[in-house]
Each structure stands twice: as C-alpha cells, then as structure tokens.
Amino acid sequence: MATVTDFTPGMRIAGCRIEAVAGRGGMGVIYRATELRLDRPVAVKLIASDRAAEPAFRERFERESRLTAAIDHPNVIPVYAAGEEAGRLYLVMRYVAGTDLRSLLERDGRLPPYRAADVIAQVGAGLDAVAVLSAAHAAEHALIGMLPLFTICDRWDVGGVSMAVHPATGEPTIFVYDGYPGGAGIAELAFDAADRHLAAAHDVVAACPCDAGCPSCVQSPKCGNWNEFLHKADAVTLMRVMLGH
C-alpha cells in the first residue's frame, strides 16, 4: 500500500518544498518544508493515503482543519492551508522548532514540577482560546436563530462568524451579518434592536432544558463547522456579561 513516507527532500506539494521529516504521528508524517511563494519555513502534515481514502476520515480531517484555522492564539499552531493534491491530504502549518510534548516526555521522562507547570499553563492558554471560541460560537447561533423576531428575515438570510481573538478588535468577536451582497437592511434593523435581540437570545438558551445544546438553542442547521465547538453554558455566561447582568 502506498504511504506518504516516500516523500523525500526536494519534492513539492501545496507550493512547498519538502526539507526533512520532522515527526510521525498516527495520521501521517509531518515534514519541515519551505513555502516557496513567501520563502518561509512551514510544517507540512501529509496524511497517509490509506487513511485519506476513508470518507469518514476525510470529513474529520476537513472539519479539524477548519476549526483549527478559526483559532487565532499564540498557543495554538496556526493553519495556513489545507487541501488535497495528487490524492494526498495536506495541512500547512506554522513551523515551530523544537519538539512535541510526547517526544519530550519519552526523552526526558517525568518533567520537574516547574517545567510541568509551565507546560500546563501553555496548554491551558491554548484551551482557553478554544473555550472562548466555543462560547462565542454558541452565542452566535442563538443570535442568528432569534434575529427573525427582530428583523424581517429568515435565519438563512443571515451569516455569522466567531473568533476567539479578531485581529481588528483584539478581543473575542461575534459577527452576525446580512447574507446578501450589499445588504438587505437586516443589519441596520438588528443594530437598532441589539440589546433586546441579545436579551432574547440569552433567555432562550438559558431556559432551554437540554444539557449541552440542541437545535432549539445553540445548534444551527446551517453551521459550516458541523455544530462543533459549541458550549451552551459558557454562551449563557458570555451573553450575561455582554448584557451586563
């Protein structure tokens, strides 16, 4: 069976030149590479072709690529590109020199407490970014679901995107936007109703009897991320903070 371990230095994929093997994981091989257009070092993860042929695996790969790309945090490795070329699934990421935690533990054994605390803090900060995104993403769905009560629209007329840290605001940011090019007046109506709209979204999610989110509160039938990274309880807290009570 063909594998991706036959990639050798000098070979090219996704606009990158392979330099050396950087690591091997369960899903494939990670290479140190050079992104030729920008002449910068990157890490290229190539998925073993036998895995890439499984539809369920491909779906998971695409989902994880999108979710990871939505997180902009210093402790989460940024994804530059993901896709398929010549039957290979690839992920192009920032190249981080050094080793991963598993290799470090295998090499050095148990870490001294101060090192362990530092590693946990770094992982925790990365997980915090995921937690913030999950709260914002769930609130975004609730806001989209409630918008038809305040504007003349259908939830399919409206789009949304959430980020743990948006480059323009430097803060967690939720966008709910008019889905028509140029706008159909939905955004203006929503802006005027913002406080009532937010309060209504909060009330619906807070009152929903489900445990962790359902189609009546934070799940959306049109979510581009398969309703993953949604945290119902944190969304309620986030909206309460936004409402100031």
| Residues binding Zn ion (CB under 5 A) | 208, 210, 214, 216-217
- Nearest-approach distance from CB 138 to Zn ion, in angstroms: 10
d(CA 89, CA 82): 8
Do 134 and 230 form a contact (C-beta atoms < 8 A)?
A: yes
By C-alpha distance, which of 182, 174, 183 is closest to 153?
A: 183
3-state secondary structure of 57: helix
Q: Give the end-to-end CA distance of the chain in Å, rounded to a whole number.
A: 60
- Nearest-approach distance from CB 102 to Zn ion, in angstroms: 37
Beginning with the edge strand found earlier in the chain, give each strand of the sheet holding 16-24 in spatial order.
12-13, 16-24, 28-35, 40-47, 88-94, 79-85
3-state secondary structure of 140: helix
3-state secondary structure of 198: helix
d(CA 200, CA 157): 19
Residue with Cβ nearer Zn ion (73 or 202): 202
Residue with Cβ nearer Zn ion (92 or 218): 218
Residue with Cβ nearer Zn ion (123 or 214): 214
Residue with Cβ nearer Zn ion (120 or 210): 210
- Nearest-approach distance from CB 235 to Zn ion, in angstroms: 11
- Nearest-approach distance from CB 202 to Zn ion, in angstroms: 13
Residue with Cβ nearer Zn ion (51 or 155): 155
- Nearest-approach distance from CB 217 to Zn ion, in angstroms: 3
